[in-house]
Amino acid sequence: MSAEGAEGPERATESPPASGTQFTPAYSRYALGALFVLYIFNFIDRQLLNLFVEPIKGELGVSDTAMGALTGLSFAVFYTLAGFPMARWADRNSRTGLITVGLVLWSAMTALSGWTRTFWELAAARVGVGVGEASFTPSSHSLISDYFPAAKRATALATFAAGASVGNVLGFLGGGYLGEELGWRNTFLLLGLLGLPVAVVFRWTVREPARSVTAAARDESISVVWRALMSRPAFRFLAISASLHGFSSYGASAWSAAFLMRVHELSLFETGAVMALTAGIAATLGQIIAGRLADRLGARDVRWYMFLPAITSLVSLPFLIAFLAAGDLFWGLVVYVPGTMISVMWTGPTYAMAQSIAKPHMRAMASAIIVFLLNLVGMGLGPLLVGALNDLLTPSFGVEAIRYSLMLAVVPHALASIFNLRAARTLREDLAFGRS
């Protein structure tokens, strides 16, 4: 670190130094750790709902299609629509302040989910969770891009993304236990209340990096920033690839617990434990490994940031199909673990390149666009279409219907590789846009 960077946040009122040099490495790691913890809370809530599909469906008396809409569409639509104005705010104002307000809101709405009595009340609470969580990812990506230099950005963003996987582990493992001991309502209430003191600690310990944003850049509208980013071919194609990954990831994760309960007849706790110890841990390791590998290979040829997701997307597909086709759960999990580990290796490189293509005052919006497509197509349509396919195929295949629905859902993972390769063609030129 340079002598200027070693002076730390005391220089925040002067012209800010280059990204990644405003704080000591130790403080940057602390800030990343704090965001990592918040991402855990962010995803525990989502996995609890996925885990509780069967008991909620039984208690509220609704169809698989309705549960698909609840786990995906009701959350995703408001999450994505709220994301753009919040991202533009984050590019102009305090990102740490916005994250704190969002955390308080989504924690309160998670707690409220436990008090609901009808399907529509629960759907309304999920809308509130979506609006609160919309503040988080774009602001976090922008902050991390200021805390860490470009050469370490994929590693940092992949580590951050691994917080979602840890949230999956804790959501499945803790949720399975608490769901059986306390019921799904009290589990939501407990999780929501835990988020409130975390918001206080975050607000008082994580500092906002200084940014140098011109008045003209600050006044740019959402549409102007959208057109500027979408004019870069590499950004367009990596955004499309992310949406396809999202369709497979969210579609499969929303129904994996139901798959284990229906086809393999596991209990709620057994399902949570299996998902935590296989999918959760495998995804955590896969994301961290991919981030480090992408930064190492990218130092030789920046196109590796797109080559790596393209390769891993294709390689993961046969493993995932084999898991769904397996009659014996043990052998299914043997192939599921490497399949899951490989299938998530797109996250760090994709987010890193989205941030690097964007100019500094566009970074939260760049993340919001990726999140918009990832969640509207992935979270919004993935769980809904799997649920609809379940209802459509059940008369012919019974409980086995979910097996075939999920096989179709994981195919877009492989299709995403086409767009990663297209993004690689112009990546070098488009990265120059972010540095200009």
pLDDT digits (tens, 9 = 90+) for 379-390: 778 888 888 999
Please tell me the predicted confidence (pLDDT) of residue 314.
Answer: 94
Q: Residue-wise over 196-222: b if at least 16 C-beta within 10 A, else e?
A: eebbeebeeebbbbebeeeeebeebee
Inform me whether the pLDDT recorded for 103 exceeds 90. yes
* Rounded CA separation 82/376 (Å): 12
Please tell me the predicted confidence (pLDDT) of residue 214.
Answer: 56
Contact (Cβ atoms closer than 8 angstroms) between residue 389 and residue 274? no
* Rounded CA separation 146/157 (Å): 12
Mean pLDDT to the nearest integer, 336-340:
93
50 confidence band (pLDDT: 50, 70, 90) = confident
Nearest to 202 by CA among 104, 87, 106, 100: 100
Give pLDDT tens digits for 69-88: 777 666 777 777 788 888 88
Nearest to 148 by CA among 140, 357, 361: 140
218 confidence band (pLDDT: 50, 70, 90) = low
Please tell me the predicted confidence (pLDDT) of residue 200.
Answer: 93
Please tell me the predicted confidence (pLDDT) of residue 91.
Answer: 85
pLDDT, the chain, mean: 85
Contact (Cβ atoms closer than 8 angstroms) between residue 255 and residue 53? yes
219 confidence band (pLDDT: 50, 70, 90) = low
Backbone angles phi, psi at 262, to 5 degrees: -75, -50
Nearest to 28 by CA among 45, 6, 44: 6
Q: Residue-wise over 236-257: b if at least 16 C-beta within 10 A, else e?
A: bbbbbbbbbbbbbbbbbbbbbb
Fold category of 22-206+222-435 in CATH: Growth Hormone; Chain: A; (1.20.1250)
pTM of the model: 0.74
Give pLDDT tens digits for 404-418: 999 999 999 899 999
Helices 153-182 and 136-147, interaxial angle, to 10°?
A: 140
The SS3 of residue 344 is coil
Please tell me the predicted confidence (pLDDT) of residue 212.
Answer: 60
Please tell me the predicted confidence (pLDDT) of residue 19.
Answer: 44
* Rounded CA separation 88/378 (Å): 23
Residue with tokens 């309304």: 124
Give pLDDT tens digits for 225-278: 889 999 999 999 999 999 999 899 888 887 888 899 999 989 888 887 888 878
The domain limits of the chain are 22-206+222-435
